[in-house]
Structure 1
Amino acid sequence: HAVPIRVAMPPCAELHRGSNAKGNTLLFIFPDSANEFPKLLTDESARISLLTSISTTWQKWFCFIFVMYAREKISITLSAFFCVWFLFSPEIETVKLARLVFSKLHEICSNWVKEFPLQPKPHRYYETSIHAIKNMRRKMEDKHVCIPDFNMLFNLEDQEEQAYFAVFDGHGGVDAAIYASIHLHVNMVHQEMFQHDPAEALCRAFRVTDERFVQKAARESLRCGTTGVVTFIRGNMLHVAWLGDSQVMLVRRGQAVELMKPHKPDREDEKKRIEALGGCVVWFGAWRVNGSLSVSRAIGKNGSQTGQRTLSKVGKKTMGRIRKTMENASDRGPSTSAQHLLT
């Protein structure tokens, strides 16, 4: 059942009402034409928030496809179709309609996978290879993000070419890693200093992501967390931000270049910081914070406890002809195997 919502509609939409015996209601907003649909989405009086991690352009097309199919399917099913605000019909159940709509959406998306609309290739193209294993765990708790054309995703114009790559090493469950992989880059773009100081925007994005996930974890009784490492490329500048022991390796002319020092409780400075905050570092098969986690910084409820505050670090480096690898290396030493693989 839908609750009636009164919204000041722009002139490009038609509103109609009807009724049915069961009182089932289905809410749709239809523009008069396809050309006017973007106006409906962008008008302040009827703004619709759909998918924050997908660019405005794709939001419009996705909604357009949804609406056009709904109009077609309902008109066929009901013989008399109205461009409606509230649609009531005794001939079709809302659940059945939803199944029809999403079935068609799945069909359209499947066709797109086979013949996806071609987009102009960025001048600088980053070849990406990905390999992930869950090892002995029951479920894969890690996530990765690859956005080689950052500007297209967020519809950024008049900006240098940008790319975003991230790895999140979850613990205690996968929810924290999923949340960070979906929201961190969005939070970064929303920071005021993103245009002129992406490094600071990255740091704040880590903090905002942690604060919001901690709230989510409290509501849903989640006790998972995640470390993370992000590389953000703008033009010829490589920015690296990390939290915990996930690592980035840079290989230049066959030689490994140190970009970061992972946050581990066996580091003397990390141990002092944890103890100053009232925590402790003890040996239990490995050095662990408060006898539990073997990482000293993390996103999530566990990470917000004593000694594991979300304090991300960031570094930057000018890029030349380089190769880069990102990995979860919490239980390994220097990644000579990754270096050998890249060279």
Structure 2
Amino acid sequence: MRILGFESSCDETGVALVELDAGGRAQLRADALHSQIAMHQAYGGVVPELASRDHIRRVLPLAREVLQRAQVRLADLDLIAYTRGPGLAGALLVGSATACALGLALGKPVLGVHHLEGHLLSPFLSADPPSFPFIALLVSGGHTQLMRVDGVGDYALLGETIDDAAGEAFDKSAKLLGLGYPGGPALAALALQGDPAAFALPRPLLHSGTLDFSFAGLKTAVLTTLRKLEAAAGPEGPTAQARADLAASTQAAIVDVLVKKSLAALKASGLRRLVVAGGVGANRRLRAELDAAAARRGLRVHYPELHLCTDNGAMIALAAAMRVAAGRARPQPAGAFDVLPRWPLAAIDAPAA
């Protein structure tokens, strides 16, 4: 079975082709991705209308590129998949309309995929794929969640953020430090030059006894610390080293919470396998600390390949393939499409409204 997947939930246009063999194993045949970072940098963040228009320009050329590289014709496709939600409504509609129009024209079934399920399952395309069951740490954009995963579609929420997510904490702290968009990678790069123990920043909810997260207070602490540095430095402002130290201390606080909450979830569940997925999953300090903790405790940690941590079409095609293999795919009627900008992962298999 050949599945073409479209991702257009925010500021990346992704298209990929995944092939499902007779044994139910998925293989990535080809993928292509266009990032809108350069376009949105001038505005300091994603402009939804510009994002939607750029998806329209990019989606068909990327689809042609993927089919050509995979040496597959449109007629050879068996299923078209797209990101149904969550995400920006206008951006989602581009992928949805493209996928559903192709499905209708080709007489092929179409499947809407949950964006977070795509991230959750993306490590199955890595060189070291996990096996069920496992604990998943989802750190993607505005989402920070811990879940128990017993199989495709079998997800139990253990904890989530009650305000800012980890990715938002990275981005907002970076903006306070005057770093460019996207803030997370810029802060992580600056942190390499700093001392992570230079500032005693808070670790919200670390000792709450729950698996929930909160990062809004950390952002406030970063702002307070920065203002103190500015007041002490005078007109010239904080030194480059002070800014690097604050970046490193901020990253250390975020990573510390993510690591300790993940270990607590593993201990509470009795499981010994952790999957990390989403954009923050590419953070080097997070990977290093999780790997070190896992080595000490005899645990296994699995990550997506670095290029699959960001939003991409491969994870959407893969999620569709794994749903088909698990018998949990419910293709849409021909010509019918919708998007769900707000779509809790817990409601992924609820009947359509």
TM-score bracket, normalised by the shorter chain, equals under 0.3
Which structure is richer in relative contact order (CA contacts within 8 A, separation 6 or more)?
2
Q: Computing the radius of gyration over CA atoms, which structure comes out larger, 1 or 2?
A: 1
TM-score (norm 1): 0.23
TM-score (norm 2): 0.22
- Considering fraction of residues, name the structure with more helix: 2
